[in-house]
Amino acid sequence: MKNSNTQVSAAVVDALQARLAYRIAGRLSESAETVDADVAARLRFAREQALARAGAVRAAAPAVVRAGPSAALLGGGGWWLKLASVLPLAALAGGLFLIQHLHTQSQIATAAAIDADLLTDDLPPAAYTDPGFVEFLKTPRE
């Protein structure tokens, strides 16, 4: 009876295929180990190039990750950068507070001077509310 008529299950066929496939692959592996010397040299060069690129990428990546893009641009890192960025803001806030304080003190001093002049003048303050004084102010001087 011919083998072509043999009934075999799909699993057996798969196993037979795999067995043959691995045998062929084994022969290919033997063949792959015997490449020409110039091909081997070129492959070694390619590998070295790839490793050099990997080294360059690794060397560049940690500095950027640690310090951030601004540090990479400025070439520095650490708390000096934080201080340098906070200091102008602090100086601005302090300046605004000082201006406000001086302005308030100036207004208080002006009001105190007016009050002092009124109180120390010979004319009593009640005189300023007298209707005759208002008329005096409205009368044009000659």
Tell me if 9 contacts another protein by CB under 8 A. no
Residue with tokens 């020409």: 36
Q: How far is the CB of 11 from another protein (least distance, A)?
A: 13
Cα-Cα end-to-end distance for the chain? 151
> Judged by CB under 8 A, which stretch of 55-63, 93-101, 111-119, 129-137 contacts another protein?
55-63
Q: Number of residues interacting with another protein: please give it, by CB under 8 A.
A: 41
Find out whether 64 and 72 touch, Cβ atoms under 8 Å.
yes
**Cα→Cα distances 104→38, 80, 92, 98, Å:** 88, 36, 19, 10
Query: How far is it, in rounded angstroms, from Cα 55 to Cα 47?
Result: 12
Tell me if 139 contacts another protein by CB under 8 A. no
Of 41 and 102, CB closest to another protein: 41
Tell me if 3 contacts another protein by CB under 8 A. yes
Tell me if 64 contacts another protein by CB under 8 A. no
